[in-house]
A and B are shown apart, each in its own frame.
Chain A
Amino acid sequence: MKAANEGARSGYRCNRGAFLSFKLKKAQGMRAFKGISLPHSRSIFFILLLLSLEWQAGAQDWVRTGTNLGAARIRLAAADFNPSSGDPQTPALKTTFDTTLYSDLNNAGIFDMVSKSMAPPVTPASPQQMNLAAWAAAPANAAMVAFGSFAVNGGQIAVYGWLFDAKNPESPQILGKQYNEAASQDNARLIAHRFADEIITRLGGGIPGIAETHIYFVAARGGNKEIWQMDYDGQGQHAVTHLGTISLSPRVSPSNDRIAFASLGKQGWSIRMFSLVLGRPVSFNSPVGNTLSPAWSSDGAKLAFSAARNGDPEIFTSDASGGNLKQITTFKGPDVSPTWNPKTNAQIAWCSGRTGLPQIYMMDSDGTSVQRLTDGGYATSPSWSPNGQFVAFAWNRKYGPGAPGGQDIYIMDIASKRWTQLTHDEGRQDFPSWSPDGRHIVFQREKGGASEIWTMLSDGTEQHRLTQGGNSMPNWSWK
C-alpha cells in the first residue's frame, strides 16, 4: 500500500506539473499574441481553445486504490446526541433515538461499531464542538463519527445530525441532516431510522439502508392465524388482518401498498389481497382449487403462485388483479413456493416434488429451461436475493429417520451452483426472506416447540430473535 501511495503521489505531482507547464505556455502565448496579425491571431486562438477544451476534458480527478485482503468494516462511532432543550420529554425521547440509531448502524452489517464505553465522554452538539482527534485516537479508533443535537421544542423534535470522517480533519464532513417531527416515541425512532439509513446509504456504496423497512409475518396470538407487521428490528408489532381464519404466506407488493396471502375459506385455500392503504381486503381473482404461496414480481405487475386446479398443484402466473392466468408448469407432483428473480423478473425458482421429496428448481418465467438446483434431502421455501445472485432456501440435507443434521437455511450462488450453509444446529429453520439491501435474511426458527422470527446477516452471523409467542412465515418488505 505504501508503494502504491508513493506511486500515486508521484502521479499527482506529474499532473500538477503538466498543469503548471500548460499555464506557462498559455501566458507566453498571450504575450506573443500582441504582436501578430489578425489571421494568425485567429488560428492561434483556435489552437488555444482546443488545448483548453482538452484540458477541461481531462479535468476529472484520479483515484488510485485497491485490495488484497478482502473488505474491512468501517469503524464507526455513534456519539450520544447532545440534548439541547430543557423539555421534560427530551431525555426519554433522546434515549430512544440514541439506542435506535446505534442499533440500526450496528445491524447494518457494514460497520464495526465503537462501543459506547470507549467513546470520549463529551457529546458534541455541533461541528465546532467536535474534537476529531479524540475520536480517532485509542481506544475509540473511530474512522467515522455520527453526532449531533437533539431537542424537543413546542411538541416538535428537532434533530441536527452530522457524519464526520475522523481521519480527515481538513475536510471532515460527509453528511449533515436536519429532521423535524412531532414529539413521540415512534417519531424519535423514525428519525433515528432515517438518519441511520442516510449514513448506511452514503458509506455502504449507494445501497439504501433497511432501517425503515418492515417485516410481515403470520401470528397465531388470538387463536386464528392473521397477518402481522413489525419494523425490521422487531419493534412496533401489530396485526394487519382480522379475518378470523387461517392466513399464510404473506407477500407484500413492491410498492408496499398491498399484501397478497393465502387464506382458508369455504372453497378451500385461495389467494387474497389486503390493501395497506385502505386497510381492508381488496378483490383478487383467485383461481379455482386450492391456491397457495403467492409471490410478486419486482415490478409489481405479476404474481406467481401455486394452484391445484386439477388436484395437482402447479405454478401459475397472473397479473396483479388475478387476470391473465397462465400455467407454466405441468409436472406430476406438487409444484409450490415460486419466487421471482427480482433483478430480471425473467426467472422463477420454486419447490417441486416431482421426484419424491421436494427439491428446488429454477426455470424461465415462461416455464422453459428448467434446472434443478438441489439434489437430495428435503429442500423448500426458495427466496431470491435482490441482486439476483443467490437463492436462499430451507434444506434438510440428510432427510430421514435418524439422519444427522436438521433443516437449516442455505444460500446458493445461481451462477456457480455453490451453496453455503448459514444456520447450524439451532432447531428447524424455514421460510427465509431477503432484506432489500441483500445483507440480511429473516427466517422462521422452531426450537423447543415454539416457532419464532429470527434475523441474521446473509453470511449467517449476528443472528437474533425478533418476536415472542408463536410467529412464522416472515416476509421482508421491498423498501
Chain B
Amino acid sequence: MAGFTSEDLLDQPEGLASPFAQSFLLHGLIVGVLFGYAYVHNMLHGSEWGANAFQQGAIQATLVSTAALPLPQDHPPTDNVLATETPSVAPALEEQKTEPLPLPDAVPIPEKQAPVKPQPKPEPKTPPQHQPPPKPQNKANYGEAAPANVPRSTAANNSANSPNAVTGGDFGARFGWYVDVIKRKVAQDWYLQEVDPSTPAGATVYVQFTVGRDGSPGTVSLATPSSSASLNSSCLHAVQRVDTFGPLPAGYNESNLNVLYHCTYPGAR
C-alpha cells in the first residue's frame, strides 16, 4: 500500500470520454434498432391493416338498383320511417354564454338610433269598382250621296231594224228585248262613284258572264281589262249586284247565254 494512497486514487484523473461515447453509441444503436424494426415491420405488414387478406380473389357484384328486379329484397323496408340503421348525429347544444355584469359605475353607452323611416300610411281598401263600359261610338260616318244615277231621259232608237246588240248566234235578233234587259240592269247597278275620277273618259272594260235559264248571272270574269283597276272592279261589281235578269226567253232552248258586257267610263262629272 505504500505506493497507492487514497489521495492518489482520488487525485488521479478519471477518463470519462470513452464511457460517454460508448453510452451514446449504445443508445443510438438501440434507437436505430427500434426504428429499423418498425420500418421493416411496416414494410412487411403495412397493407394488412383492417384488410381481410383472405377474401382476395373473391368476385363482388354490386346491384345498381334492385327496384326493377322481382326478387325479395335483402333488407325489407321498415314501416317506421324513424327507425334507421344510421342514426344521424344529434346536434350539439348551443353553449350558454353568460353576459358579464356591468360595473356599478359604468355609464351605459347610448346606442346609435337609426333614423325611423316614416311608415307609409296603409291606404284604406276600396271595394273593387266596376270597369265602366267603353263609351259607345255615337258618331256616324256618313254623308250626302252624289245625285242618284236614275234614268230621266230616253234614248230613242229610231231605226226599226237596229237592235242594240248584235250577237253570236241569233239570240240578239230574236230576243233583242232581253239584251236590253241585260244592258239596263247592269247599267243601273254600275256606280260611277266607284270609278277613280282620274280614269280617262272612254276607258272601256269588257266583262264576261253567263246567264242561266233562271236568269241568274254566273261565272263573272274580266275579259279585257281597262287601264283603270277601279273601272274594272266597278264593272264586275255591277254584274255581281244583279240577282236575276229574269228567266231566259222560252223560245231560246240553250242552257245558258254568254254575255260580253262593256262598261265605258263617260268621264268625271
Please report which residues of chain A, range 63-91, place their CB below 8 angstroms from some CB of chain B when the two chains form the complex: 63-75
Interface magnitude class on chain A: 35 or more
Contact (A203, B181) CB under 8 Å given A72-B154, A141-B158, A420-B148: yes
CB-CB < 8 A to A457: which residues of B? 150
Contact present for B187 and A169 (CB under 8 Å): no
Contact present for B245 and A417 (CB under 8 Å): no
**In this assembly, does A368 line the interface, its C-beta being within 8 Å of a C-beta of chain B?**
no
- Give the Cβ gap from B26 to chain A, nearest Cβ, in Å: 120
Contact present for A167 and B266 (CB under 8 Å): no
CB-CB < 8 A to A167: which residues of B? 157, 160-163, 176
CB-CB < 8 A to A354: which residues of B? 136, 138
- A87-B215 Cα distance, complex, nearest whole Å: 42
- A5-B176 Cα distance, complex, nearest whole Å: 13
**In this assembly, does A9 line the interface, its C-beta being within 8 Å of a C-beta of chain B?**
yes
- A111-B151 Cα distance, complex, nearest whole Å: 10
**In this assembly, does B188 line the interface, its C-beta being within 8 Å of a C-beta of chain A?**
yes
- Give the Cβ gap from A472 to chain B, nearest Cβ, in Å: 27
CB-CB < 8 A to B23: which residues of A? none
- A84-B73 Cα distance, complex, nearest whole Å: 122
Contact present for B171 and A61 (CB under 8 Å): yes
Contact present for A375 and B140 (CB under 8 Å): yes
- Give the Cβ gap from B201 to chain A, nearest Cβ, in Å: 9
**In this assembly, does B166 line the interface, its C-beta being within 8 Å of a C-beta of chain A?**
yes
CB-CB < 8 A to B258: which residues of A? 60-63
- For the complex, count residues of B whose C-beta is within 8 A of A: 78
CB-CB < 8 A to A416: which residues of B? 145
CB-CB < 8 A to A74: which residues of B? 180, 184
Interface-centre pick from B138, B171, B176, B177 (highest chain A CB count, 10 A): B177
CB-CB < 8 A to B247: which residues of A? 206
CB-CB < 8 A to A459: which residues of B? 148, 150
CB-CB < 8 A to B167: which residues of A? 8, 12, 61-64
Residue from the list A63, A66, A112, A370 in contact with B172, Cβ < 8 A: A63
Of chain B, the residue at the smallest CB distance from A166 is B160
CB-CB < 8 A to A370: which residues of B? 136
- A141-B160 Cα distance, complex, nearest whole Å: 9
- Give the Cβ gap from B137 to chain A, nearest Cβ, in Å: 7
CB-CB < 8 A to B265: which residues of A? 68
Interface string of B132-161 (1 = CB under 8 A from A): 000011111111111111111111111011
Q: Which residues of A contact B (CB under 8 A)?
A: 1, 4-5, 8-9, 11-12, 14-15, 59-75, 110, 112, 132-133, 136-138, 141, 143-144, 165-171, 174, 201-207, 354-355, 359, 370-375, 387, 412-413, 416-421, 457, 459-461
Q: Which residues of B contact A (CB under 8 A)?
A: 136-158, 160-177, 179-188, 190, 204, 206, 210, 215, 242-247, 249, 251-252, 254-266
19 more contacts with CB within 8 A, not counting A14-B168, A170-B173, A412-B142, are A8-B165, A9-B166, A12-B168, A60-B254, A60-B256, A61-B167, A68-B266, A71-B187, A72-B155, A112-B154, A144-B177, A167-B160, A203-B180, A205-B181, A206-B244, A372-B138, A373-B142, A375-B140, A421-B144
